[in-house]
Structures are given as C-alpha cells and as structure tokens.
Amino acid sequence: MLSCVEQAAVRRRTLLGGAAAGVFASTIAVDFAFASGVYAGDTLVVISLHGGFDGLSAVAPIGDPDYYRARPTIAVPKSTVIAGDGTFGLHPALAPLLPQWKAGRLAAVHAVGQPNPTRSHFAAMEAMENAAPGTSERSGWLDRMLGGTGATAPLAGVSMGRAMPARLLAGPATDVSMKSIDALTLAGDGKRPIAAALRAMYADAPAHLAAPARAADRALAAMAGPRSAAAGSGYPATELGAALRDVARLIRSNAGLVTATVDCGDWDMHEGLGQAVKGQRMHDNLADLSTALAAFTADLGDTVMKRVTVLTISEFGRRVAENGSHGADHGHGNAMLVLGGGVRGGKVYTRWPTLAASALVDGDLAATTDYRAVIGEILQKRCGFGDLSAVFPGVKPSSFGLAVAR
C-alpha cells in the first residue's frame, strides 16, 4: 500500500548518483515549441492519487438509484453531501474546499479513464504517466509538456515530496526531484566544496555529459529565492501538506516554476473504505486532501491563483459494487478535481453513462471521457498550447468548457 507522498529516492538517470540528496538533473530539452523561450501560461500542479481513487465516493452520483443499490453500506447518503445539485454531490470531507466550489474555482470531471483499462496498479500507473499508448514514446507526459513550453529555468519542473521521482517527468526536459526546499543540497557540501568540485570536473566535458551536473548546479543556485520565501500557514501536518506548502513557496518566489507533481497514495481501499464520517478511511483521506488544497489556495491568494491550475489524476477508479469487506476493488471510470483561478467551477462536467447494469463495463463505471482530453483542454486554454500531438498523441481536448482561455 502506498503512503501519502511515497518513499524518496534520487532519480536513477542522474549522473550525480549517490552524491546528491534529493536532487537530480536530466539533459536539457532542445525541441522548444514556444519561440520566445519564455513561458507565460499557468503553473500546472498535478496531484497523483495513487492506489485507485474512488471517484464514486468523492463525487457521489446521488441522482442515480443504482448507486445506492450497488453500495448499500458505503454510498454517501444524499442527506450528507455538500454542493449537491440533485444529480451529484461532494463527499462531506471535501468541506474545506466548498468556498472554492461556490466561488467557481473548483470543478469535477466524472466518468474519466484510460483508453486501455487494466486493473494492475503497475501497468495502469505506467500507462497513465506515459499517456501515449500505441506509440514508441517512453517519456512522461509532463516531461513532454515541460519540453514543449521551452522553459529553461532550473526549477521549471519539480517533483516535490518524499516520493519516487515521478515517471510523469521521465524524459529529456530538465527537472528537479526534492524532498523539500530546505533539504535540497549536495550531501556533505557543507564540509567539502563538492559543488565547486563538480563544476571543475565537468568544465571541459562534452555537453551531453556535463548537462546533468550543470543543471543540478543551476538548480541549487536558484534555491535562494524559494528558501527566503516564508512558508505559509494553515497546512495540515501531513506529507501532502508539507509538499504543497513548498510548491506554494516556489510559486510565490517567482522561481520560474512551470509544473510540479506531488504524489498522494493510500487510496487502494479494498476493505474498510467506510461510511462518510470522520474516522473512516475514505473520509479521512479526503479530509487530508481537501485541507491541504484549501491551505494551498489560501496561501497563494486569489491574485496568484489566477495563474495556477491544480488537477488530480489516478490510475483507475473503484468498482461500482461494494465488496464483502465494505470496500471496493479495482475498477475503471473515475473522477478528477480541477482547481484554479481560470477554472469554470461549481459544477460536475461529465457525459454520465449511468450505473445501470447494462451501462457498466465488466462491472465498472464506463469511462466516457479520456483523462488526457481533460488535461488537454487545460493545456490549450491555460498553458498556451495549440497542437497537443507532442504531449498526447492522437488526443483531442475535451469540449466541456471547464476553463477560461487566458
């Protein structure tokens, strides 16, 4: 089972190997789609809800009678949802985000999924992060997005928290993996001039060999601004809260952050998913998520949030029917949350297939919208992309209108 913001590790492809503590740098992207080289779109923050997020609990289809037939003990009661519209309602543990929903800055997209569903965590996560099935592409979609912006700041792409460096950022674009802002350093550099030694070592090396060390050196030098930025308050004392607090510090310091990814696990609830009350697993996980996101938006404030978009992704949803352990097994269709100043929020976007037995796919909620199409709409309207083929081959953006064009 994955813990919220998984175990830390230095990205394998770094040339620095064991010399670095929480930092890596890959080769620098050379295929710039933005001619100016200056990125002017939203900072995109991607939260990976690893383990299989139960969208049917988070965004409950209260108007679908088959929901309550399939989940006699774990369905969210109509009387307890918030922001209910008669068709859908938010889980009560998402209450900290209700002000954002009412202000039109938070939306949900339901019945989303991958084009080739699988119930294997490993296969589904790999496919979700690669997002290019049927092609020879092996990089992560967030790496392709970052490379397409032409952003060259050493802190343009960041994997934040005690997580394995995300495959989302696997590829040629320069990015940094760190446990936290204050922990980003070269091991032993305080006692020995390791950074200076690396600079001298690679001074005359070919570019393709020197790039990782030079990029790491640039990243360390760029940390002065984020480290001087005061940490925000109100965050929960959780790994997710700490990671989002540091992402906010990067954004407020104007360090050139284009995209950040944070892992939040422990959503694999085969048993004890529980009722929609405090002390139950789903409730408490959602409370952690919503409290951290609410603190993040308060920390940045309305002005800064106008240029920030946060979205959640998960490798798959849960089955429609609850199991004998009051949980739900691996499924397919799911829900995404989208938060930001450019979001047309306060509603659930979906092409709802219903939960009637005839509409299910092998017992699962059918995915009527490709999750990549949702992200594609954000990339086009908020991040300045035109053609999406370099990021999501063969995918057209959704036409929900869930975001305002910059």
Other beta carbons within 10 Å of 187: 15
Looking at residue 221, its pLDDT comes to 78
CB-based contacts of 107: which residues, under 8 Å, 6+ apart? 337, 338, 339, 343, 344, 345, 346, 347, 348, 349, 402
pTM above threshold 0.95: no
Q: Cα–chain-centroid distance for residue 286?
A: 15
pLDDT of residue 37: 56
Residues of the chain scoring pLDDT < 50: 1-36, 191
Range 188-219 burial, b when 16+ CB lie within 10 A, else e = ebeeeebbeebeeebeeeeeeebbbbbbbbbb
Query: In CATH terms, is domain 17-177+194-363+373-382 a member of 3.40.720?
Result: yes
pLDDT at 203: 74
Which of left, alpha, beta for 326 (phi over 0: left; psi -120 to 50: alpha)?
Answer: left
Residue 51's pLDDT is 96
Looking at residue 219, its pLDDT comes to 76
**Residue closest to 372 by CA, chosen among 174, 171, 168, 176:** 168
Per-residue model confidence (pLDDT) at position 206: 81
In Å, what is the CA distance from 394 to each residue of 31, 117, 134, 142, 261?
Answer: 19, 17, 10, 16, 24
Rg (CA), the chain: 21
In this structure, what token pair is assigned to residue 284? 């408490």
- Residues 56, 249: Cα–Cα separation, whole Å: 33
What's the pLDDT score for residue 84?
Answer: 97
